[in-house]
Structure 1
Amino acid sequence: MEKINLIKGKIIVFLCAAVFISGCSLAGLDLQKDYNRTPHTLDPHINKSAWAFIKERAATGDKTFERLMAGIVYSGIDTTEYMKPGRTFIVLNKDAVSVTGKAPNGVFQNFLVNGKAPADWTAYPKEFVKNYLLYLIVPGEYNHYTLPPIKSVEVQTLSPKGYWNALPAGITLDGFAANPDSKMFLRVSNGSNGNTQDYPILINDNNNNVRTSDILATNGTVHVVERFVTPILPSVVY
């Protein structure tokens, strides 16, 4: 009798399991057929130029490049520089050009005018703003696909040689040191940034992590930063 009851119990369990599985299927929850799933990764290609990307994000959505665009317009920089191929573009988001929020990390809180943080780009000479923006454009594509692990790479920016030998009258930058060749150092970090970014790209080895890296435009690579990018070269190069 115990053997018969045991068999009945197994049948009931089997039927319950079958109903449960059927119920999952009926509920629209497809069963996993195997564990070999093809992963889906984000496509870094934006299928537009860096200039089109900046303009679009300056005018729509959270307008993250709106303040950068104001600097571009004010400076009179030749915007075709953002359209030329084979370049790396370091793009300032709204936190990097801000008077509130993350202000201590912003452009205005670092380039002081007569000892004070200005409210906008117009406090600086146009030529100064143009050359700072040119410093953020690098011929050649430098990203996680091309940079060597950990080792710093010295790159030439579009800012004219000799411009960063001194700052214009009335403008100061804490710790300023001449950068006669308008060079920059880029490297891939050997760690993570608070468990939010693994192996971020660093600019001038000063813990300025690229916030969003490797955005592949049709004419090069875009790196978005949320902090001021200094033209001061690091004293120690890794």
Structure 2
Amino acid sequence: MDKLKIQNSLSRYLAIATLVLSVSACTFMGLDLQEDHKHKVTILEPDIHMTAWEFINKPLEDTLRSFELIRDAVVYAGLEEEYSKPGRTFLVFNNQSVLRYDSNGAVNSGCYFGREGVPELDENGDPVLDSLGQPITCPGRNWEDYPVEQIRNLLLYHIVEGEYSYHNLGPDNTIAQSLSPVDTANKVHLRIENDRNAKLRVNDFHGTIQSSIARTANLKATNGFIHVFDTYQRYGVQ
């Protein structure tokens, strides 16, 4: 028993000696001891001090945060004013969601130009046909390859009436009205994940064709809120 007491005493002395040496080392190295554990909490400012249209036109070097292609789509569809009107929520998809290449140099089938194929044309501008006489499709090269109404409807679905953000969304879906004129594709489901990451999700409901998570959410523009995505939104059920 005496031997055990001696061992316990030695352990306590060693712990105290280690602490003293640590404090001395800090003093020796010229480091100040922390006297107050409290730290100043700061909150990132979500206000970007510009309209959604100005934000889309802002040049950025980061490809995942650049929007030249959606800007070109807006101009092609003649919707510049819609991105400057107040009281809206803008689901902005980046360049990668429009045109993205695989490692072998082929256009990725998940981006818009890859998924929404257009007729392949011969040197005379006529559609190339397969053995069954059906047009062969290929990835789009630019927005002008598509009917302007198709691109208008795509963009209008990504503009939501009303301002939706972390201030008024929760873990349950909020069904919002988009500007899309298509009755079967004019609703947008918005919710915030109920976990520590609290990501903003779009069209996350049973049977959805596609749900997406915002890459950057809650940007406060002067005319509403902007949520940025790595993919464009498709609405419907499987």
TM-score by shorter chain over 0.5 = yes
User: Equivalent residue for 2:88?
Assistant: 87
2:41 to 23, 39, 42: 39
Tell me if the contact between 1:153 and 1:186 (Cα under 8 Å) persists in the aligned partners.
Answer: yes
User: Equivalent residue for 2:148?
Assistant: 126
Q: Percent identity?
A: 33
For residues 184 and 90 of structure 1, what CA distance do their matches in structure 2 show? Answer: 10
C-alpha root-mean-square deviation of aligned residues, in Å?
Answer: 2.7
Question: How far does residue 98 in structure 1 lie from its aligned partner after superposition?
Answer: 1.0
Tell me if the contact between 2:87 and 2:162 (Cα under 8 Å) persists in the aligned partners.
Answer: yes
Q: Which runs of 5+ in 1 are unaligned?
A: 1-9, 163-177, 193-197
SS in 1 for 2:188: strand
2:69 to 64, 67, 70: 67
Q: Which runs of 5+ in 2 are unaligned?
A: 1-15, 120-136, 205-209
**Letter matched to residue 100 of structure 1:** Y
After superposition, residues 1-238 of structure 1 pair within 5 angstroms as 17-18=23-24, 20-21=26-27, 23-25=29-31, 31-56=33-58, 59-62=59-62, 64-77=66-79, 79-101=80-102, 103-114=108-119, 115-149=137-171, 151-162=172-183, 178-179=184-185, 182-191=186-195, 198-205=197-204, 206-230=210-234, 232-234=235-237
For residues 216 and 226 of structure 1, what CA distance do their matches in structure 2 show? Answer: 19
User: Equivalent residue for 2:123?
Assistant: none
Moved over 4 A (4+): 13-19
Q: Residues 198-237 of structure 1, C-alpha deviation per residue, up to 9 Å, x if partnerless?
A: 232222223311111111112111000101210x2346xx
Aligned residues: 194
Residues 1:37 and 1:128: Cα distance change in structure 2 (over 3 Å): same
Question: How far does residue 156 in structure 1 lie from its aligned partner after superposition?
Answer: 0.9
Q: Residues 126-149 of structure 1, C-alpha deviation per residue, up to 9 Å, x if partnerless?
A: 122122111110111112221122
SS in 2 for 1:187: strand
TM-score w.r.t. the length of structure 2 is 0.71
SS in 1 for 2:217: strand
Q: Report the structure number with the largest CA radius of gyration.
A: 2
User: Equivalent residue for 1:195?
Assistant: none
Question: How far does residue 31 in structure 1 lie from its aligned partner after superposition?
Answer: 4.1
TM-score w.r.t. the length of structure 1 is 0.71
Residues 1:203 and 1:16: Cα distance change in structure 2 (over 3 Å): closer
Tell me if the contact between 2:153 and 2:182 (Cα under 8 Å) persists in the aligned partners.
Answer: no
